């Protein structure tokens, strides 16, 4: 049985979603598909390339149509950040995987590019648009990594902790956006 | 040869610093110390407890005396955030380890508590002091995880990426602090 790239990627995503990042090895993926690891290397040159494709798949599956109702830039930033968070939460170890591939510089650029474009359209300047996009991304990665790691560890019975403090995603996001707002307003005044 | 808790912890920290988080297993730690894994379980009930102690050790080794020169709260926030980042960068996989133990709710509370106390002293109110502390923490975790993962992967020859975009830690931190500043000023006026 021959598998094309999409088949291999779908199985890799399923493996991670069901068993976590630790289960994603070329050997195990080959066993699940009933092929030699070499058949996987035909589509993905190495483990990093496969991981990057899984991360991209996590974002693609979480993609939502943009609402046209946000006439201000802060609502559009919130929409992109919420989509990224939800996409990562929807797959076991999703935050770890997407943040790792982002750090590798191997893809998952869509949310960062979209945040940057929204900020640039405010007239805030290229440098702040870039740093602002990265700051939002780091906040979302940091918050979602905590949220997902806690949820998974509690669900596995590995730790005891209350989740009370975790539903503060939106408040924290608004703090970051307020920090950007003061710079956007200063740029617009200038 | 009997080892006390400090000896076992020092060896666990060395193992992680030299070989990364993946090398930290009870079996390998026992082999390095020349003891049975049961001798380690005597001091650390399970892998999570050991990991929590290593994370705490990473923070302890990075602790610096507070400068008395910061007479404003934003300088004090920056000092705590910089100390946390540097402590995590000083140990292989430090950001991953500290953020994971934080998510488990198993310790490494010092930076969060210090940030919260600095914010509470501004008169901003308990809830914003808590969320503000967590938002700073999530930003520092997110940024440092990217920075460290990129540095380690480049150094291992695993990925090719430019580090040009990474020295934006301070600009992003100032964005978050500016978002807190507007709330602090509103609280002080009220």
3-class SS of residue A147: helix
Mean pLDDT for B47-55 is 96
C-beta atoms of A149 and B104 within 8 A: yes
Is B72 found in the same domain as B22?
no
Two tokens at A70?
A: 């946000």
Q: How many angstroms separate the most distant Cα atoms in chain B? A: 64
Buried b (16+ CB within 10 A) or exposed e, B118-131: bbbebebbeebbbb
Query: What mean pLDDT is reported for chain B?
Result: 93
Q: What's the confidence (pLDDT) of residue B1? A: 56
Say whether pLDDT at B172 is over 90: yes
Tens digits of residue pLDDT in A104-154: 999 999 999 999 999 999 999 999 999 999 999 999 999 999 999 999 999
With a pLDDT cut of 70, the percent of chain B lying above it is: 96
Same domain, A38 and A105: no
Whether B81 is covered by a domain: the verdict is: yes
pLDDT tens-digit series, residues B120-152: 999 999 999 999 999 999 999 999 999 999 999
Give which of A48, A137, A189 is closest to B153, Cα–Cα: A48
pLDDT of residue A31: 94
pLDDT at B102 over 70: yes
| B134, B159, B172 member nearest A104 (Cβ) | B159
pLDDT band at A66 (very low <50, low <70, confident <90, very high): confident
pLDDT of residue A142: 98
Strand intervals (E) in B1-152: none
| Predicted local confidence at residue B190, as pLDDT | 77
Query: Are A25 and A87 part of one and the same domain?
Result: no
pLDDT score, position B120? 95
**Per-residue confidence (pLDDT) for residue A28, from 0 to 100:** 95
pLDDT > 90 in chain A, percent: 80
**A108 and A150 belong to one structural domain:** yes
Decide which of A68 and B45 is more confident: B45
Residues A36 and A74 in one domain: no
Kindly report, residue by residue over A28-57, the tens digit of the pLDDT: 999 999 999 888 999 999 999 999 999 999
- The number of distinct structural domains making up chain B is 2
If asked whether residues B15 and B93 sit together in one domain, one would say no
With both helix axes pointing from N to C terminus, report the angle between B47-62 and B26-33 in degrees, rounded to the nearest 10: 70
Residues B128, B91 share a domain: yes
Taking residues B168-186, report their average pLDDT: 94
Closest to A21 in 3D by CA, of A87, A84, A91, A106: A91
User: To the nearest whole angstrom, how far is the Cα of A23 from the nearest Cα of chain B?
Assistant: 14
For residue B39, give the CATH number of its domain: 1.10.10.60
Q: Are residues B102 and B150 in the same domain?
A: yes
pLDDT (0 to 100) of residue A113: 98
Residue A176 and residue B176: Cβ atoms within 8 Å? yes
For residue B132, give the CATH number of its domain: 1.10.357.10
- B140 and B168 Cβ atoms separated by less than 8 Å: no
Q: Does B167 touch chain A (CB under 8 A)?
A: no
Is A151 domain-assigned?
A: yes
User: Residue A1 above 70 pLDDT?
Assistant: no
- Residue A89 lies inside a defined structural domain of this protein: yes
Q: Does the residue B50 lie in any domain?
A: no
Same domain, B14 and B108: no
Tell me, what's the pLDDT at B64?
93
For the stretch B152-166, pLDDT in tens is 999 888 887 777 666
Tens of pLDDT, residues A77-109: 999 999 999 999 999 999 999 999 999 999 999
Predicted local confidence at residue B37, as pLDDT: 87
pLDDT of residue B173: 98
pLDDT in the model for residue A70 = 67
CA B183 to CA A175: how far, in whole Å? 8
Q: Are residues A92 and A25 in the same domain?
A: no
A34 is written with which tokens? 């009933």
Instruction: Report pTM.
Output: 0.95
Question: What whole-number distance in Å separates Cα of residue A170 and Cα of residue A132?
Answer: 17
Give CA separation, B2 vs A2, B33, B36, B43, in Å: 56, 10, 11, 11
Asked if residues B134 and B144 have their Cβ atoms less than 8 Å apart, the reply is no
Mean pLDDT of chain A: 93
Reported residue count of chain B is: 190
Nearest CA in chain B to A141: B142
CB–CB of B103 and A177 under 8 A? no
Q: What is the ipTM of this complex?
A: 0.94
The minimum CA-CA distance between B1 and chain A, rounded to whole Å, is: 31
Q: Is residue B177 included in any domain, yes or no?
A: yes
Could you tell me if A34 and A71 lie in one domain?
no
Secondary structure element (H or E) that encloses residue A73, with its range: helix A73-89
Residue of A179, A182, A186 to mutate, interface with B, max B Cβ within 10 Å: A179
- pLDDT score for A164: 66
pLDDT, greater one: B106 or A3: B106
Q: Please, which pLDDT band fits residue B59 given cuts at 50, 70 and 90?
A: very high
Domain-embedded: residue A166: yes
A24: containing domain: 5-45
Pairwise pLDDT comparison (A158 vs A97), residue with the higher score? A97
Q: State how far residue B176 is from chain A, nearest Cα, in angstroms.
A: 5
On whether both B182 and B93 belong to a single domain, the answer is: yes
Name the nearest CA neighbour of B16 among B44, B61, B54, B43: B54
Q: Which of B149, B159, B168 lies at the smallest CB-CB distance from A131?
A: B168
Flag whether B57 is in a domain: no
pLDDT at A167 over 80: no
- Contacts of residue A161, defined as CB under 8 A and 6 or more positions apart, other chains included, come to A150, A153, A154, B104, B105, B106
Per the CB < 8 Å rule, is A179 touching B174? yes
Report if residue B102 sits inside a domain.
yes
């Amino acid at each position: 049985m021959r598998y094309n790239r999409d088949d291999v990627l779908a199985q890799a995503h399923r493996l991670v979603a069901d068993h976590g990042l630790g289960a994603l090895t070329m050997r195990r993926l080959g066993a699940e598909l009933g092929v030699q690891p070499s058949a996987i290397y035909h589509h993905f040159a190495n483990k990093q390339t496969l991981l990057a494709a899984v991360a991209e798949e996590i974002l693609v599956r979480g993609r939502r149509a943009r609402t046209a109702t946000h006439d201000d830039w802060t609502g559009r930033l919130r929409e992109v950040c919420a989509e990224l968070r939800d996409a990562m939460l929807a797959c076991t170890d999703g935050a770890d995987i997407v943040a790792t591939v982002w750090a590798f510089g191997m893809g998952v650029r869509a949310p960062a590019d979209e945040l940057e474009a929204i900020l640039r359209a405010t007239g805030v300047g290229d440098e702040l648009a870039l740093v602002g996009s990265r700051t939002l991304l780091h906040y979302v990665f940091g918050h979602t990594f905590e949220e997902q790691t806690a949820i998974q560890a509690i669900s596995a019975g590995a730790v005891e902790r209350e989740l009370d403090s975790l539903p503060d995603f939106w408040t924290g996001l608004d703090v970051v956006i307020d920090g950007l707002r003061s710079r956007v307003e200063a740029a617009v005044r200038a």
